[in-house]
Chain A
Amino acid sequence: MSYFELKEPPRREDRLKACIAHGAALGEVAGRGLQCCQPGNERTFTQNSICLLLPALGTMNSIPNSVVLMHGGLGCGSSSHCGNAAVRGGNNQRWGVVKDGRWLSTGLTESDVISGGEPKLAQAIIEADRRYRPAVIFIVASCVPGIIGDDVESVVEQTQSEVVAKLLPVHCEGFKTKIWATSYDAIYHAIGRNLLTDNEKPAIEKEKTGITVNLMNVSSMGRVDELELERLLNELGISVNIFPVFADPDGMQRMTEADLSISTCPTHDDYMLTYLKEKYQVPFIIRHMPIGIENTGKWLQDVADFFGLGEQARALIAREEADLAAALAPLKPMFKGKKAFSSAGEFRALSTAILLAELGFEIAGIRAFHHDEFAEVEYEKLVRLVGKDLPLNIANCQPFEEANLLRKLKPDIFLGHMNGNSTAAKLGISTHVIYNSGLHYIGYKGAYELARRLYRQLRNPRFNTNLSQHAVLPYKESWYQQNPFKYIKTAGGDNE
């Protein structure tokens, strides 16, 4: 039975045996499926983390003509105040109109918790439909309904006939998973079940002109990055439809009609791409992330080979690489001998580290938010490039482990996820953000633009060095003498 027949998708701890805590050398992870921690109970001391609702909102708030109705406590989803900047920017970049995202909260109160929130949710759906007239309403279940037993699915079933908008229930109960990549499955689950209909053969077979692919984007990817990938694919004569972030809900069906689906982040897409293949016979490629010079070439070559365009791709890649090498030459002396540290979602952290190595940095260490099988190919590439001894930390944030590692490793530059750079900054390390949907990261253009920004950061790191003279991190001095992975419970015993 397909997962898509279930009411909610399985959590990734179960589906992929993904893990969130480990401290080791790179070589220990590369090349083997790692059972590195006890899922859900992985540390005896932890700092807080992210739940799946946050990345899910990144996609939901971007969908044109949608309303995101949070069912839960008043605060769940207030992170949208931050995501809204990307929604405004993204709308402007795509359609020339600045527009705020539209999110609502049922704001469950103490009495709702006691008597149940279902009637309030039903009313809220009807009111939201009347007031905003959206094409779709995401009905987001957060922790509270999950605990008090609100049946969000049946409320949706009962109210669907009373509203014009399509209702998409999305399960984001934060206490159910620590792997927030589960949120990508939750969104795709809702799209697959509600916005894709069975592919009836059209009465008149449309004349097929050329090749069209589904390019799967992620909410951390800005329009500028999409344009870079479109440019490269168009050069090979391949047309591109982009899903799911900022995609028109009425057009999602086109996902089922493409010749191929291409992932740009293997952590993101396997759930949906497998479904599209099984149900709609759309084949897919999920292997490389087009970040870094070699990786962009590999990503492009895979797609081209699939369509028998291998020769054209090789020529294109050679041209692109030559142009890029010439452009990078004046910047590279700045990077030589400098130590870099990369920290982000697993695939992104690894491919970024590979790019940094290509730019001439020495890689000092890597932190990845979780670990699953999709990244194994990336670990192997990195080991070939930088050797096996590099420190690796699998951590769902946990800045105390990071602070400890950084004090020991003393990198010159730290590349971290949004809201993950301040620890390094307060330690006086130059930083650069890995997630900013206004900036280039992807493809050849991304490699160059990132290099340009790193060059600029390294030219004058005074903001952070000054800060580090006076800012204090909230850790005991004695913590820095400890093993950074002291509190991780591994399957084979603790780290001490």
Chain B
Amino acid sequence: MSNYTFIERPRYTCALGGAIATVSALPKAVPILHAPPGCASNFTWTQAGGSGLQVGGYCGGLSMPGSNVQEREVVFGGVERLEEEIRNMFDVMQGDLYVVITSCVTEVIGDDVGSVVRPLQEQGVPIFFAETGGFRGNSYQGYDLVLQSLFKDFVKKTDKKQPRSVNLWGLTPFIDVFWRGNIAEIRRLLEKLGLTVNSFFTVDDSIDKIREAGSAALNIVVSEVVGQGAAQVAEEVHGTPSLSATLPVGPTATSAFLRQVGEALNLDATLVEEVIQYETKRYYSLLELLADGFNDIDLQRYAVIIGDTNYAVSLTRFLADDVGWLPEIVGITDILEEEQQEQIAGQLSSLASGLSPEVIFHTDGSVIADAARTHWRKKQPLAGKYTNPLNPSFVIGSALDRELAKDLGAGHLSVSFPVANRAVISRGYAGYNGGLTLIEDLISTIIIGR
């Protein structure tokens, strides 16, 4: 859908930004930007402001090499500059993998980056490139484009599949601010099912293991929107089937997710159920201690949930079906096709709790906020001794939704990008542990004045 005339404070950056995020999160990878000088710093400052203070990576920020193209290259072509840059780079930069990513400018002028990279690949240099010009889409597309190239041009082809080995993706580093914690928890659970997991971006991953990703029996994409192109390429090039699932948050969704994986891989159903039982039991035995507090302090809330598809759908399900809150408005800020919107709306109309929040698809926070205010107003009788307004309430969104929360008199927690007002290191909201963490964070926000 590109029928917008503008996007207000986009809650992502461009494809190149997503590509930088992706490459700089791969283990010891060096991104090489074929771009004008500002694209890297634009992304660095985007991270500094939106990614819970996480900036850089092994070779991120302003340490990324780049061709820094100027008018001369725009007129005469930038391939020569890129060649010179890469040649000298090997004397300075130390990396296990090098990825050339392109920008609007170098794509519009038609530079043939492949002509620079392919000879190096033939010499056995661990390098590939991805065309990630900003006009190709937002940062989720950039993430997908890098993974597509990785599966096409870097991952080794093999007919031998390891039946208990899977690849895991779907969460864009830094744009999903809680990517590290989310990936770690899903990886932990998959390992409990006896699987070997290549998750690309954690400290337990390595370029050597990523090179072997073609031997996986299944690609698990924990998003129904992000990373789909890479799933298709991986199937075409490596013959690996894929499973797309909503990012699982909390016991209900996570248990369903583990069953889905079990079925797809023909795992022993008893083992899968044992893991689910254990984790669910553990979740509730820990949560149990908050039963007094939750009930005594009256911590149930009407909720507005605003985020990308991954978070908006998962958080709504978790709040409605696990926590027993009352989602009223769900705002989804991704750029989506109409059929994607219908499918997502369908998911949110079949909540186990029977609730059906109003779902708004719009890229602009202010439009979603206006819809929420209107919704709140409608439920608010003008006068009378006994009124039944939508309070107490809570807004789970990005830092840009603080104004809405203030207007509604609601609590607020930043979860989706931009997360300007929190520091995030290893925290995550996926899985059983993530559900507990989210409850901690929501309640801590509410009771901070105690």
- A interface residues (Cβ-Cβ under 8 A, vs B): 40-41, 44-54, 69, 72-85, 100, 102-113, 120, 123-124, 127-128, 131, 143-144, 147-148, 174-178, 180, 396-400, 418-420, 422-423, 472-479, 487
Distance (whole angstroms) from the CB of B134 to the closest CB of chain A: 3
> How would residues 71 to 112 of chain B score, 1 for a CB under 8 Å from any chain A CB and 0 otherwise?
111100000010011001101111100000001110011000
Cα–Cα distance between A221 and B64 once the two chains are bound (Å):
28
User: Which chain A residues border B10 with CB–CB below 8 Å?
Assistant: 74-75, 78, 105, 107
Given known contacts A82-B48, A127-B6, A399-B63, A45 and B85 CB-to-CB distance under 8 angstroms: yes
Cα–Cα distance between A180 and B50 once the two chains are bound (Å):
23
Distance (whole angstroms) from the CB of B74 to the closest CB of chain A: 6
Does residue B16 face the partner (Cβ distance < 8 Å to A)? yes
Does B6 contact A107, Cβ atoms closer than 8 Å?
yes
Given known contacts A49-B41, A399-B62, A44 and B418 CB-to-CB distance under 8 angstroms: no
Q: Can you list 7 A-B pairs with a CB-CB distance of less than 8 A?
A: A45-B85, A48-B39, A48-B62, A52-B38, A104-B6, A109-B2, A175-B70
Does B94 contact A176, Cβ atoms closer than 8 Å?
no
User: Which chain A residues border B137 with CB–CB below 8 Å?
Assistant: 74, 109
Given known contacts A48-B68, A107-B7, A475 and B93 CB-to-CB distance under 8 angstroms: yes
Cα–Cα distance between A419 and B93 once the two chains are bound (Å):
20
- Which of B17, B46, B93 is in CB contact (< 8 Å) with A476? B93
User: Which chain A residues border B366 with CB–CB below 8 Å?
Assistant: 131
Cα–Cα distance between A143 and B109 once the two chains are bound (Å):
12
Stretch at the interface among B51-59, B246-254, B271-279: B51-59
User: Which chain B residues border A131 with CB–CB below 8 Å?
Assistant: 366
Does B7 contact A476, Cβ atoms closer than 8 Å?
no
Does A47 contact B62, Cβ atoms closer than 8 Å?
yes
Does B33 contact A76, Cβ atoms closer than 8 Å?
no
Distance (whole angstroms) from the CB of B173 to the closest CB of chain A: 15
Cα–Cα distance between A413 and B71 once the two chains are bound (Å):
38
- Which of A48, A82, A111 is in CB contact (< 8 Å) with B66? A48
Cα–Cα distance between A356 and B182 once the two chains are bound (Å):
45
Cα–Cα distance between A108 and B35 once the two chains are bound (Å):
17
Question: Of residues 10 to 49 in B, which have CB atoms within 8 Å of A's CB atoms?
Answer: 10, 12-17, 28, 30, 33, 35-46, 48-49
Does residue B191 face the partner (Cβ distance < 8 Å to A)? no
Does residue B136 face the partner (Cβ distance < 8 Å to A)? yes
User: Which chain A residues border B63 with CB–CB below 8 Å?
Assistant: 47, 399-400, 423, 473-474
User: Which chain A residues border B55 with CB–CB below 8 Å?
Assistant: 419, 422
Does B45 contact A79, Cβ atoms closer than 8 Å?
yes
Distance (whole angstroms) from the CB of A41 to the closest CB of chain B: 7
Given known contacts A104-B6, A147-B74, A176-B70, A78 and B65 CB-to-CB distance under 8 angstroms: no
- Which of B64, B108, B134 is in CB contact (< 8 Å) with A47? B64
Does A76 contact B62, Cβ atoms closer than 8 Å?
no
- B interface residues (Cβ-Cβ under 8 A, vs A): 2, 4-10, 12-17, 28, 30, 33, 35-46, 48-50, 55-56, 58-59, 61-74, 81, 84-85, 88-89, 91-95, 103-105, 108-109, 133-139, 366, 400, 403, 418, 420
Does A73 contact B37, Cβ atoms closer than 8 Å?
no
Cα–Cα distance between A180 and B139 once the two chains are bound (Å):
25
Residue of B nearest to A39 (CB): B70
Does B6 contact A76, Cβ atoms closer than 8 Å?
no
Given known contacts A110-B136, A178-B70, A102 and B88 CB-to-CB distance under 8 angstroms: no
New A-B pairs, 10, CB < 8 Å, besides A78-B10, A104-B8, A423-B63? A50-B41, A52-B38, A82-B49, A106-B6, A107-B7, A110-B135, A143-B36, A144-B108, A147-B108, A400-B63
Does A120 contact B84, Cβ atoms closer than 8 Å?
no
Does B37 contact A75, Cβ atoms closer than 8 Å?
no
Cα–Cα distance between A218 and B13 once the two chains are bound (Å):
26
Cα–Cα distance between A106 and B44 once the two chains are bound (Å):
21
User: Which chain A residues border B91 with CB–CB below 8 Å?
Assistant: 45, 476, 478-479
Does B6 contact A75, Cβ atoms closer than 8 Å?
no
Does A472 contact B42, Cβ atoms closer than 8 Å?
no
Distance (whole angstroms) from the CB of B61 to the closest CB of chain A: 6
Given known contacts A41-B72, A78-B42, A82-B49, A419 and B14 CB-to-CB distance under 8 angstroms: no
Given known contacts A147-B108, A472-B58, A175 and B74 CB-to-CB distance under 8 angstroms: yes
Does B44 contact A419, Cβ atoms closer than 8 Å?
yes
Given known contacts A47-B63, A82-B48, A176-B70, A474 and B9 CB-to-CB distance under 8 angstroms: no
User: Which chain A residues border B104 with CB–CB below 8 Å?
Assistant: 72-73, 108, 113, 143-144, 147
Cα–Cα distance between A418 and B105 once the two chains are bound (Å):
27
Distance (whole angstroms) from the CB of A300 to the closest CB of chain B: 34
Cα–Cα distance between A3 and B379 once the two chains are bound (Å):
58
Cα–Cα distance between A51 and B108 once the two chains are bound (Å):
19
Cα–Cα distance between A177 and B68 once the two chains are bound (Å):
10
List of 9 A-B pairs having minimum Cβ-Cβ separation, nearest first: A51-B38, A75-B14, A73-B134, A82-B49, A48-B40, A81-B49, A79-B45, A45-B88, A474-B59
User: Which chain B residues border A54 with CB–CB below 8 Å?
Assistant: 38, 41-42, 45
- Which of B50, B65, B108, B134 is in CB contact (< 8 Å) with A74? B134
User: Which chain B residues border A473 with CB–CB below 8 Å?
Assistant: 63
